[in-house]
Amino acid sequence: MVCELCGGKLENFKEGSAQGLRCADCGWSIVTTHISGVKVDETNYEVGCSGDYKNEVHIRAVSEVTGFNFLTSRKILQKGRALVFSGQAMDVLWVRNILISAGLDCTIEPDFNWA
């Protein structure tokens, strides 16, 4: 495709919630809205996790996503697999990333297609 103003090459782009075509030479563009599916997903997901109750990194990650103090989070991990969060996709993605980066094993129900 070529630019209707200068004949230059048009390139596809996606930035935040916008997508479109932009001329590499003169900067002319045509833009439309692009909202990611994860932002409009209204499904209620449940996040469970399991980890080592003696591992401080695991305990702190559970504490961060649940809002519970250190001791309560440690007790949660002692139980084995436990529900630590329930919410919509954007928040679930944030929780999942915290748990995974801390090395915890996490599950999401129903199937979570945004990871």
**CATH number of residue 75's parent domain:** 3.30.1390.10
Q: Is the pLDDT of residue 115 over 90?
A: no
> What are the distances in angstroms from CA 21 to CA 12, 17, 25, 47, 55?
5, 14, 12, 38, 49
Asked if the structure places residue 52 within a domain, the reply is yes
pLDDT in tens, 47-104: 999 999 999 999 999 999 999 999 999 999 999 999 999 999 999 999 999 999 999 9
Torsion of CA 87, 93, 94, 99, to 10 degrees: 100
Structural domain harbouring 54: 39-109
Exposed / middle / buried, residue 114 (Cβ in 10 Å: 0-12, 13-18, 19+): middle
Q: Is the pLDDT of residue 11 over 90?
A: yes
61 lies in the same domain as 94: yes
Asked if the structure places residue 114 within a domain, the reply is no
95 lies in the same domain as 67: yes
Give, to the nearest 10 degrees, the angle between helix 70-78 and helix 56-66: 110
